[in-house]
Amino acid sequence: MFSYEILKKHLKSKKINYKINYIDSIESTNQYAWKLIQKNIEIPSIIITKNQTDGKGQRDNKWFSSINKSLTFSIVINQNKKYEKLLSLKVAISIIEGIKKNTDIDCKLKWPNDIMINNKKIGGILIEKKRDKIVIGIGINVNESLKDINPIVKNKSTSLKIINNLSIKLEMLLADILNEFELYYYQLNNKSIIKKWEKYCCHINENIKFYGNDKTLNGKFLGVKDNGNAIININGKKYTVNSGIINL
């Protein structure tokens, strides 16, 4: 069972005063967030469930969660041009540092925004924007054993528990991610956000395979630009790309 008390006790955010919406079971917290936005939900809000049954991933993929074991939530905020630059990088860094507060695991980032350990995915971010609202969906594999990981993604996914055999309180992890997010959201120094993202990137200055526009390109990943696009060196020439899949 999800405990408000544990979450409230550890939530230190001062500027962002979230309304917490907990639902036992829901198809997708992102989808539900948009329904609540239509009903004039309080903003900022968190929508969290212990059982997401039809999670949405990037590029129309599915996102699989395990009941009571995965951290599955969405943050609803108003658009704010001043702070939402590099939003996805800020969210990704907050997740890495929130996890670090709860474990000794150093997670890494794969462009554009996969949370990785040992080249396997443990978490993902789906940011959706409509009119003046933003929904930031976050899914993290936390207390799953190998048997809990969906067979479709088994060979490319893992969980924090599979790595270190320890269980984590989901409320504590959520609180720490939100605490970090408050710090990074208001950070206006884009260079320092990019530097931090690149520090956590697991393929910086490495040769990668890049899939985009039905083509596969081989190149060296050089970093991210101040709009979050990737910079890739292909045959000595620098290209910037805004979407695609990187294979390590």
Cα gap 112→135, rounded to integer Å: 17
- Residue 36 CA, distance from chain mean position: 21
- The two tokens of residue 96 are 């890495």
CB 245, min distance to ligand BTN, A: 11
Handedness of CA 104, 205, 124, 191 (dihedral sign): positive
Cα gap 101→80, rounded to integer Å: 28
Give the end-to-end CA distance of the chain in Å, rounded to a whole number: 38
* Helix segments in 27-76, DSSP class H: 29-38
CB 100, min distance to ligand BTN, A: 20
Question: Around Cβ 201, how many Cβ atoms within 10 Å?
Answer: 20
Please give the residues from 45 up to 84 whose contact with ligand BTN meets the rule CB under 6 A.
52, 55-58, 61, 63, 72-74
Which range of residues in 15-23, 118-126, 149-157, 209-217 is near ligand BTN by CB under 6 A? 118-126
Which range of residues in 22-30, 86-94, 194-202, 208-216 is near ligand BTN by CB under 6 A? 22-30
114-117 vs 108-110, strand pairing mode: antiparallel
CB 56, min distance to ligand BTN, A: 4
Please give the residues from 26 up to 45 whose contact with ligand BTN meets the rule CB under 6 A.
28-30
Residue 55 or 98: the one with the smaller Cβ distance to ligand BTN is 55
CB 120, min distance to ligand BTN, A: 13
- The two tokens of residue 21 are 């919406």
Residue 124 or 228: the one with the smaller Cβ distance to ligand BTN is 124
CB 137, min distance to ligand BTN, A: 3
Q: Which residues bind ligand BTN (CB under 6 A)?
A: 28-30, 52, 55-58, 61, 63, 72-74, 114, 124-126, 137-139
